[in-house]
Amino acid sequence: MTLITHILRAVGLACTLILAAPPGGALVYAQTSEVGTSKHPIIDSRMTDKEVFEALDPKCPDDIRKRQKVVKLKYYSTDGKIHRGQLVIDKDLVKDIKKVFKLALKERFPIYSVIPVSDHRFRKDGRWDDDLSMAGNNTSGFNYREITGGGRLSNHAYGRAIDINTFLNPYIKGDIVLPRGAKYDPGIAGTLTAGHPVVRVFLELGWDWGGNWTSRPDYQHFEKPLKK
Ligand SMILES: [Zn+2]
């Protein structure tokens, strides 16, 4: 046999093995092929709808809960790989969010993780905990809660707001920086700045950016409130 024939036979054999792999064999295939690509993203969140809304604040009205959609999103992450996560958002805003994430991926704007706040890592005393999600540099949308500092419901309570890369894009009010220990440094990739393509596309779609709130900037926050 010539060398070429040997190579062709070896390739043919490899293909046969992949095609003949049993369902359990898919894992072997995933490990040996490149993971972290658009075709084989690293999965950061794969929750069922039931899991996503588990331990939701019982005060959340049913009509609000029923408007929420769980959206699968791909993004370029801080490790230079493509990841896939899940965002919970009002059904009317799904199209906007998909547009923003498509642009963020194209621009290679790193997004650390997109995991619903109901994930066990972000629970405290059995409830969804925004502080834990923020400290984790996580990106999330719907959460039936009041605004930071309290007093009224946040747009997150309606699924009409999203926080992105929370540790890189903190909320700042005087000496208070949330999450604690965070620092706003526009030089770090994943930080949102005025004029950044991700900020621009949100504004074009009619969203407000918390980074423009000069007295207490909330760099991570975008919202599109219902028109009164
Ligand atoms: Zn927010």
Residue 17: its pLDDT value, please?
Answer: 38
What spacing in Å lies between the alpha carbon of 147 and ligand 1's midpoint?
8
Alpha-carbon separation of residue 155 from 39, 48, 106, 161 (angstroms): 34, 24, 28, 5
The mean per-residue pLDDT over the stretch 87-99 comes to: 98
CA dihedral sign, ordered 57, 61, 66, 69: negative
Report d(CA 156, CA 179) in Å as an integer. 17
Report d(CA 115, CA 85) in Å as an integer. 6
State pLDDT tens for residues 110-150: 999 999 999 999 999 999 999 999 999 999 999 999 998 88
What spacing in Å lies between the alpha carbon of 93 and ligand 1's midpoint?
15
State pLDDT tens for residues 201-218: 999 999 999 999 999 999
Do the beta carbons of residue 117 and residue 86 sit within 8 Å? no
What spacing in Å lies between the alpha carbon of 80 and ligand 1's midpoint?
25
What spacing in Å lies between the alpha carbon of 224 and ligand 1's midpoint?
11
Report d(CA 88, CA 114) in Å as an integer. 10
What spacing in Å lies between the alpha carbon of 191 and ligand 1's midpoint?
15
State pLDDT tens for residues 12-68: 444 333 444 444 444 544 555 689 999 999 999 999 999 999 999 999 999 999 999
Virtual torsion, Cα 131, 87, 92, 39, nearest 10 deg: 160
